[in-house]
Structure 1
């Protein structure tokens, strides 16, 4: 792994500034994945959009992010993590400004795709910079800070979006990114060192692997989103195309001398189990954050700000408990928190079932608190476990894989949700239809979360004490 002469210390001025820059930058991208949810009803009304178009306002961003985040991680390892992070922030800034001036649903979806490309370049860079630039003894704490603040960014998205929608209009949820991105760029230029994988320079980039990733996720997302309206022939064709592209990706990666993804990473049981858990758990989280704020506005008559405030318990829990969860995981191993956390979240999701017409804060608050506690228990241990199971020189790829899996889980779950629960067209404006769809969604989420807990319990069996590190316990780090 190429790096600066000395690792950064977390308690120095440059260390604090670097951690702030990568945490804030990643938080902006994550926040934008959730902040839009609370504005969907207003966007749909002002731009005369259907439910499927509103899905694509979410999914266009998530599709670009999920399918290209591996490319972002690999480019960072090859060209320099700081450089690619800065390019991603600049790209994200421009795309955000274009989203703010979109005049039609089609224009907004197109700009959201561009915004997702920028997010794909910057998102893996934040974690990769931490893993490669900070002293080994500072990494767990820095990652815990990153995970906690990133979780907070996702959680406060609905609150920020609600306040902006009620006080300035939905366009401000994109416009506010411009000054924030400028701050991150300035801090990164001043403080962050450049690191890269020295073995990656000069090797050919895996374009076929990148293209097959886009085709697989794009075809599957389009099929799931339009499954209730498209013809059977087109649906089958898209599903077959997605399957063939996925198989082709595995074949290409196995044969390539310079693969986009080191498939040997999945030879580590811990890495594979953590990513399998990520897929189902983040799928459920994506559904909860997508439908809850929309449901409360439509079925219970809440304002955008009031619905957005439902993210507050999650924000508080992640702010105060993420570092403690990381310390607990380091002491007893990741198996218990990563197994118990999703199950607690499942209980919280089921406690939200009574929310409907006439729902008050006392109807939803108990479920939100339980859900938040489960989320705080699993987020930090998950991030640390994935990165610790990969060698330092694959930090960007490992981060990219986990981010891709998380975004793909959310993307596919949100794409499939309306058809599974019987929502389509203008149903998002019908309180009765939304209530029925919401309750079915919470049951589905509870099942997915429980599956995630089971996967962690069996997949992480044998992990004890401190989370394994690539220098010591991970078999893929050994020659």
Structure 2
């Protein structure tokens, strides 16, 4: 055993019991919060019809997703430190409580503004929970088992992103849009009891908190996302007084630059330790997971609006079209993980990203009134195959080369980049969808009747379909750019693959 491995093993909290039951207990809550990043997409037409029926502006309902993602992304950099300071189990349980209660609030919301506010609180609960799962993996699993645990964590991310639309379709169609939130209440209670019993209490450590860094990062993200998402609403001009859309976006970029400079100058526990990015694989994987978050969040909105409004499918029927994606991803993900142990990661990630992008482009070409519905199952299968080569491999490669003392910080930054990518995807697709609607249906935003009342009149179906088809081309462009970046990954070093494979065997993978 090397000196580095000895130090790493010493950092793991001793425990007489297997850490796997604790991890499975945490997966319940982690799976639930990730499902909530996509489950709303299939319910958006129903939510708009119920709470915002009199406008054709799609930006309003997209804030139901963006508010959650923004409140999720901003605190992630500091909530991991809260776990170190007050115990990851305690912070996880607090976050799960906030998430569960705010889910009940979401379901009881009677206005769109109230739902958006509840979703923001829900995102805060998710931010408290997410870093604790990776921190507990790092602190309870010895190095030769940590890889398998991280593999389960990465696989949970991918499966949850696919299950969300499926579950949303069944719930919206069978019980109403409110139940995509109500269902979290019993799941949250089960997850709380399981975590209370199975997750061990771990040693706490004092931390200083970079309050200025938190403030700067929050302001930067809010200005950029709000400016992007509301730009079309204000015709990219004046928002209020001297404040313009472009002024807000450029100010956000400037504040983001100030945040990065401040992090480079801070000597004591910066919010984002910039030395993490000295690892080429961590830096490139962070870019990759941001692009994946962007694409997965962005693709759902035009797809679901087209299928439900232009083709008249119910939420359940539209969700069924995604079954091939979920099935192929679930079957192939374990094989992709095993193959990653034996080959250059670029041989999995680049084809995975290209296939996912190709599936979206294929789907876009089919988005018209004449395409038989069963045809949409084919690109869905391609998306599932591509997905197997994205989620788990990215999570594995990002953390594989990091020193043990940087594992917690790496988990926080990796989660943040994934969620920031999702926030930007939600904001950007809203802008692109609205601009494509104006280009293909001039005057749509000012029409008297709004979208969201079932299948659209035949006179506007072609223009609406073309707009959604064009909007769906934005996510694959981002994924193809990420595939080019993945070419610069490095192959894993030395014997780490042997430990990784041994951990999988030990875990029964």
TM-score w.r.t. length of structure 2: 0.85
Find 2:420's aligned residue among 402, 405, 408: 408
Find 1:420's aligned residue among 426, 432, 437: 432
Residues 429 and 474 in structure 2, CA contact (< 8 A), matched pair in contact too: no
Q: Give the equivalent residue in structure 1 for 2:189.
A: 182
CA RMSD of aligned residues (A): 2.3
- Map 1:439-458 onto structure 2 (within 5 A): 439-458=469-488
Find 1:153's aligned residue among 160, 164, 171: 160
> Whole-Å Cα distance in 2 between the matches of residues 80 and 124 of structure 1?
12
Change (3 A) 1:275 1:121: same
- Tell me how far 1:389 sits from its aligned partner: 3.1
SS in structure 1 of the partner of residue 248 of structure 2: helix
TM-score w.r.t. length of structure 1: 0.90
Residues 42 and 168 in structure 2, CA contact (< 8 A), matched pair in contact too: yes
Change (3 A) 1:93 1:302: same
Residues 95 and 125 in structure 2, CA contact (< 8 A), matched pair in contact too: yes
Rg (Cα) greater in structure: 2
Change (3 A) 1:259 1:436: same
- Tell me how far 1:289 sits from its aligned partner: 2.1
Find 1:53's aligned residue among 60, 84, 90: 60
Q: Give the equivalent residue in structure 2 for 1:366.
A: 378
- Tell me how far 1:179 sits from its aligned partner: 0.9
> Whole-Å Cα distance in 1 between the matches of residues 497 and 473 of structure 2?
35
Structure 2: 5+ residue runs without aligned partners? 1-7, 439-444, 501-509
Find 2:149's aligned residue among 139, 142, 147: 142
- Tell me how far 1:8 sits from its aligned partner: 5.9
Are 1:223 and 2:233 an aligned pair? no
User: How many aligned positions are there?
Assistant: 462
Are 1:36 and 2:29 an aligned pair? no
Q: Give the equivalent residue in structure 2 for 1:298.
A: 309
SS in structure 2 of the partner of residue 332 of structure 1: coil
Structure 1: 5+ residue runs without aligned partners? 10-14, 472-479
> Whole-Å Cα distance in 1 between the matches of residues 286 and 499 of structure 2?
17
Q: Give the equivalent residue in structure 2 for 1:114.
A: 121
Are 1:105 and 2:115 an aligned pair? no
Q: Give the equivalent residue in structure 2 for 1:238.
A: 248
- Tell me how far 1:339 sits from its aligned partner: 1.5
- Tell me how far 1:470 sits from its aligned partner: 12
SS in structure 1 of the partner of residue 231 of structure 2: coil
> Whole-Å Cα distance in 1 between the matches of residues 495 and 462 of structure 2?
50
Deviation per residue, 1:81-131 (Å, 9 max, x gap): 222211111110111111111111100000100000001111122222223
> Whole-Å Cα distance in 1 between the matches of residues 328 and 415 of structure 2?
22
SS in structure 2 of the partner of residue 169 of structure 1: coil
Q: Give the equivalent residue in structure 2 for 1:476.
A: none
Find 1:191's aligned residue among 185, 194, 198: 198
Residues 8 and 134 in structure 1, CA contact (< 8 A), matched pair in contact too: no
